[in-house]
Structure 1
């Protein structure tokens, strides 16, 4: 378990239309199984919680570890997370001494906000494959980046200490429908001023990425409206044949009702499916 201080949170979501991703974590084997449409897509080595009970040498009894068991949704995704007084970046680059590594997938456990338990990178790669953490799930940094770029928010993570047989057996009611968080209706221009922080900015970024207009994002969209959002919107507007890039003109980079409606339709954002099958 690690209490994380969120430094640069990017709830990044890849194109998940008609694709279901699930995660299984086996604490006994220290393996993370990534499922795509019900089949194992990839297996990663991980470190899970250190054993909380001492057992005699040579015993085959596996004690409980500090990593919680159950099915939990990913509710926060963070690039270069900060841990306590350890910054996530140094001189603009990932901090090699950050015990959380380069990515954080925060899990909602017992109603918390995803900043206690999570799937994250590490500054101690030799710990991978062992029971070594305070409760979180550690991955090699290259692996956690790959996972981060695949799974969307609300992905269900099933954690257990039994046997793995290639079948995801977590709670099917967890992370059932992420499309319910998206809006078909234009929320209003006040939500898209520079520095505005809200869920509609994130949806805007997801729609831009899904339509191929996300090149100005460094890693992905966020809840904060930035110049990267404006430039991406402007490119989408110009592609619609609209002209005039000055403020208040059709291609100024700020979404209006028509821009929003076209993005909703062209991105298929309301068809996102994260069901089990």
Structure 2
């Protein structure tokens, strides 16, 4: 009986190898992608983009390392050991949550105690290059991420002009899957527009999806129109919609 079970197990393993099945593929459906070029963080769950957040990264490019890492620890209200400031203290620069990643330079390359995604007591720094290497988020944003991101998921850090959808395909995150909320819309959008169609547009442009067509969205639309050889008027009409959803 034991021999029969062993033969069956070996058969299943060989079948998996022949089909190219990798256990890690399931984990790739959940990932964090950080783009230092625009200081944004994207969270993928079940192979789909859930949210894009503004972040702060290193004061110089080499302070926040680039590559593929892993989320290895999660701490609520982590103390600021360097200055002896307890967790939860308004003076604590680590904010409400800490998500540690194992990058070269931490203790044994596995601890996640040196580099991490964390909150901040300096919200004005978000969107800028301000940290000593960590990735800062607004406290409400890092709490949202902390509650959803599982340990051991991949964390990709890059500096790229590519969209998050392009980066996700490159990294094999949610490959061949439609990104959440990337439905098309038929209305013309312009500065001052509000609603779900604006949020869809914003997610497609990989910017904060707050559903309000403000200055950031206007800049992103004009940049996209210029890249496609369209009139950069900031109005999302038929030609711009077609270019957006033909990618």
Name which of 112, 131, 141 aligns with 1:133: 131
Alignment of 1:162-241 (within 5 A): 162-165=160-163, 166-167=165-166, 168=168
Partner residue of 1:102? 96
Deviation (angstroms), 1:27: 0.3
Alignment of 1:18-167 (within 5 A): 20-51=29-60, 64-83=61-80, 84-89=82-87, 94-110=88-104, 111-165=109-163, 166-167=165-166
2:99 and 2:146 in contact (8 A); partners too: yes
2:28 and 2:47 in contact (8 A); partners too: no
Distance 1:87 1:170 in 2: 41
Segment of structure 1 superposing worse, 140-149 or 34-43:
34-43
How many matched pairs?
Answer: 141
TM-score calculated relative to the size of structure 1: 0.48
SS at match of 1:149: helix
Runs of at least 4 residues off by over 6 Å: none
2:32 and 2:41 in contact (8 A); partners too: yes
Partner residue of 2:214? none
SS at match of 1:142: helix
TM-score calculated relative to the size of structure 2: 0.53
Distance 2:32 2:39 in 1: 13
Distance 1:46 1:22 in 2: 16
1:70 and 1:170 in contact (8 A); partners too: no
Partner residue of 1:190? none
Distance 2:69 2:155 in 1: 5
Question: What RMSD over aligned residues (CA atoms) do the two structures have, in Å?
Answer: 2.3
Deviations 1:68-106 (A, max 9, x none): 0001101010000011233333xxxx2111011111001
Question: Any gaps of 5 or more consecutive residues in structure 2?
Answer: 1-25, 174-247
